[in-house]
Amino acid sequence: MSVYRKIGSLLIATCLVMIFELSTGWVRAFNAQLDLIVMFVKYLILTLLILKYRSRYFRIYIIGFALFWGVLGLVMPLYTFFTKGHLKDFLAFPNILSAVTGVVSGFIISRNKNKSKNVRILLVLVPLALCTFFYFNHSYYYDFIFHTTLDAKKYIDEKKEVFELTDRQANKVKLDKDKYIVMDFWNTQCMICFEKFPAFEKLYEQYKDHPELQFYAVNKPLRSDTFDIFKRTEKYTFPSVRGSGNIAEVFDVRGYPTVVIVKDNRILHSGSVETAERYIKKHIR
């Protein structure tokens, strides 16, 4: 095979892997944790099928797989490093490792047909169990990924960062700089935000009478909002406010939901409602 044909074959294999991923990767957008399990299963099945029916293309498939995921694995950290961006660019790393595990398991199972059935079952169940374990114990990893930046803002410049908060009656809300302000940032396209409202409500009920604490659920307005956003929070007792268009940039919110704690124009905490509760217990008496 000539060099050009080899290069062409590799490009085709890479494109096929990309098409396969585009057709099945929608799970990641729906649920990144669930995709961890799906990645292992789908690449295990794909590898077994290729080795059974098209084994002569397996080497090209592996190189195409390595090129596709290798390029993504290299581009994401480089992009984050040079742009000082958000660490959520690393979100797919565990899923990529799960895909690699699926390919390896499929290869070993196919190439060792003479081994006992129990060994082959273990090659499927052990990696699947590890993926499932991570699925149910992912909170610390995802909290860190979603709420960590390489150039996190520490202070709010009042002269530069002009923003506005309004309540249900369209009255302006002014933050008390001398108190700890706990803000749960959300938007109407964030389904997880709605799922976290009960946890924020519980935190509010626990500390609402604390003289140094104030709580707000802060809506980040979107162009697609065509209804009263306060209807989303009307069944809760925590104060709900709507922010101006730049509210997320002011408080350095780069993912939703994010709970930010500020005092005297200083950002003290940015993370999940669970990590916010731990911060309050540790630092606020």
DSSP 165-205: EE-TTS-B----TTSEEEEEEE-TT-HHHHHHHHHHHHHHH
Q: Which residues contact 103 (CB under 8 A, 6 or more apart)?
A: 43, 44, 47, 62, 65
What is the pLDDT averaged over residues 109-138? 82
The answer to whether 167 touches 208, Cβ cutoff 8 Å, is no
What is the pLDDT averaged over residues 239-262? 91
Asked whether the predicted pLDDT for residue 269 surpasses 60, the reply is yes
Q: Kindly report the average pLDDT of the chain as a whole number.
A: 86
Q: Dump pLDDT digits (tens) for 16-68.
A: 888 888 888 777 766 777 888 899 999 999 999 999 888 888 988 998 898 88
Whether pTM > 0.75 for this model: the answer is no
Residue with tokens 């410049």: 157
Rounded distance, CA 150 to CA 160, Å?
22
3-state secondary structure of 264: coil
Secondary structure percentages of the chain, helix, strand, coil, to 5: 60, 15, 30
pLDDT of residue 24: 83
Asked whether the predicted pLDDT for residue 1 surpasses 60, the reply is no
